[in-house]
Structure 1
Amino acid sequence: MRVIITEHARKRLKDVRQEKITYADIINAAREIPGCIPTATRFKGFFAKSGRIFDIVAKDISSGRLVITVIGK
C-alpha cells in the first residue's frame, strides 16, 4: 500500500514533541493499520525505532493511505 505523508505532518516532525520519529516509522505505522479508513481517524500507540510513542491521523484516498498528522507523546 502506498503511504502519502502530508506537508503538515512533515512540518510537525520538526517540532520537539515529534523529534526522533522518522518517515520510515510513520510509513510502517500506517501500513500496520488493517482494513479501509474512509474518514480521518486517529490511531494511537505506535512506537518509533527510537522508542518514542506517537499517534497518527490517517485516511484512505484513491491513491493510497494519507497520513494527515503525527502526534508525539
Structure 2
Amino acid sequence: MARLGLGMMKVVITAHARKRLQDLRQEQINEHDIRVAARSIPGHIPTATRFRGFMAASGRPFDLVVKDVLAGRLVITIIGK
C-alpha cells in the first residue's frame, strides 16, 4: 500500500464502527479519536487485527480492530472499556 506520508494515511471508518460509537460502552469516543489512533499504528496490517490501549481525548480507553485495504486503513470496529 502506498503511503501518503506520516499522519496522512486515509482512515476509512465502517458503518458498523460508526454505529458502535452511539452505544453506551463507546460514549465519549469520537471519530477524531479513532482517526488519530488508527494513524498511530505503524506498519502494514494485512489481516484484521485488534490493537489495544488507545485513549480518547475525553480519557475513555478503547481498542480498535483495523485492516489495511487499497482505500486506506479500514477501522472495522471500536471496543470501549
Q: TM-score range by the shorter chain?
A: over 0.9
Question: Please, what is the CA RMSD of the aligned residues?
Answer: 0.2
1:12 corresponds to: 20
1:6-64 deviations in Å (ceiling 9; x for gaps): 00000000000000000000000000000000000000000000000000000000110
TM-score by length of 2: 0.90
Aligned length in residues: 73
Structure 2: stretches of 5+ with no match in the other structure? 1-8
Q: What amino acid is the match of 2:23? A: D
Q: Does 1:23 align with 2:1?
A: no
Percent identity, aligned pairs only, is 68
Q: Does 1:45 align with 2:49?
A: no
4+ aligned runs moved over 4 Å, structure 1: none
Give the greater-gyration-radius structure (CA). 2
| SS state at 1:21 partner | coil
